[in-house]
Amino acid sequence: MEEGTVGLDLVRHRDPPRRRLTEALRALFLAVLVAFVVLALLNVFGQRQSKSRASSAVATMTVSSPPRVRGGLLYQARIHVHAHRAIQQPNIVLDEGWFQQTTVNAIEPQPSNESSQGGGVQLSYDAMKPGDTLVVWVYFQVNPTNIGRHHTDVELDDGAKQLLAVNRRQFNFP
């Protein structure tokens, strides 16, 4: 035996079984973390906008918002309405899924009136002539406890008469 190695056992002191397990767990943790980052880069957890559109002889409406969001995320929904015919009382009705455990930070432009309609929120705007365009931005923040799938439909009404509807769903990650 060489000097200085008296009483040392290779298996016990250099290669203990517990160290191999610790290194394997460390590698597994790192792999899970890297996989999580790659999935986030591929937009699995939300934020990228998607567009939904509905059209009729009266108007065309496009709704842009992320279909997947995560807790704490600030995001924007954009509703673009183009009138082909006159709309006397344009109302945009947002389904209650937009508001379940979600904070509304701003609505631009401000509606002339806001009210509740069937569990959702109705935003009323001034009359539109043929060719007019109305763009509404709604800024939200997701509550971290808001987990699951929500209906985020949007309707365009003329008074009490429904003109268009865009059916959407949103999935909220923790």
What does the pLDDT look like over 71-113, one tens digit per residue? 888 899 999 999 999 999 999 999 998 988 888 999 999 999 9
Identify which of 74, 111, 94, 107 has the alpha carbon closest to the alpha carbon of residue 151: 94
- pLDDT tens for the chain, 174 residues long, are 455 567 777 666 666 666 677 888 899 999 999 998 888 777 776 677 889 999 999 999 999 999 888 888 889 999 999 999 999 999 999 999 898 888 899 999 999 999 988 888 999 999 999 999 999 999 999 888 878 898 999 999 999 899 999 999 988 887
- pLDDT for 117 equals 80
Per CATH, the number for 50-173 is 2.60.40.3670
List % helix, strand, coil for the chain (3-state, nearest 5). 20, 45, 35
- pLDDT at residue 1, as a whole number: 47
pLDDT at 42: 79
pLDDT at 41: 79
Q: What's the pLDDT at 127?
A: 95
- State residue 64's pLDDT score: 95
CB 106 within 8 A of CB 138: yes
